[in-house]
Amino acid sequence: MFDKDWITNELKADPASSFQTAFTHRSYLNESSKQEESNERLEFLGDSILSFIISSYLYKIRPGDAEGDLTNLRSYLVKTPSLAKAAKKLDLGTKLRLSKGEELSGGRENIQLLANTYEALIGAIYIEKGLEEAKQFVHETLLPLFKDEVISGPPKDAKSELQEISQNLTKQSPTYKILKTQGPDHARQFTIGVFLQGKQLGEGQGLSKQVAEEEAARKALEQLNSEKILAVDEPT
């Protein structure tokens, strides 16, 4: 039911509906003469609804999981790359209303914008169609992409792996610090460093803190694996 054509038909059916708002990036408003709203409020709503839908689903199908395991799996399913993958399958980027500058900078392929739009679309479906249809949308467009992970659990990400190694080495957890931000508000680029006992282990960049932290952790693991990292102090 929920495919590219369904979305196109909903946009055509009522140009003033929440569906149109779901695809309106705030950069577009700077070049529009109309008084319109960006998709940010719908994204906020959709984020909460998505969390509820995924939490309810995992609670029912994984009765033996502890709270921490359910949280980790939910986090994997709703993280930016996962939502962007679903958004790309639906071609959401082609329907985004962007400023000319955002378009030229690759906004239609930007995984953060795609993930945000997916959440905004959930919010629009909830407003226009109700919770059950929003639930069906998630079950049809997101969960089938991660069948193996839902059954066996999420693959270990770089941050989790670095956390385990750090605990084994020093009994301490790595910390993440923003080193630099650049770019306009709607396309903010974060540079984040990961530190252990005051020493920087890696650095990453991304259009969200989550992506930049994951990249920093991955770089730290590469250095540890190649034994190029300076030795950390042994715990006393």
How far is the C-alpha of 176 from the C-alpha of 192, rounded, in Å?
7
**Among candidates 137, 99, 100, which has minimal Cα distance to 118?**
137
Q: What is the DSSP string of the chain?
A: --SHHHHHHHHHH-TTSHHHHHTB-HHHHTT-SS----SHHHHHHHHHHHHHHHHHHHHHH-TT--HHHHHHHHHHHHSHHHHHHHHHHTTGGGG-B--HHHHHTTGGG-HHHHHHHHHHHHHHHHHHH-HHHHHHHHHHHTGGGGHHHHHH-PPPPHHHHHHHHHHHHHS---EEEEEEEES-GGG-EEEEEEEETTEEEEEEEESSHHHHHHHHHHHHHHHHHHT-SPPPPPP-
Catalytic residue (choose from 43, 119, 213, 215): 119
Catalytic, 5? Answer no
Q: Exactly one of 10, 43, 47, 215 is catalytic; which is it?
A: 47
Q: Has 119 been annotated as catalytic?
A: yes
Residues known to be catalytic:
47, 119
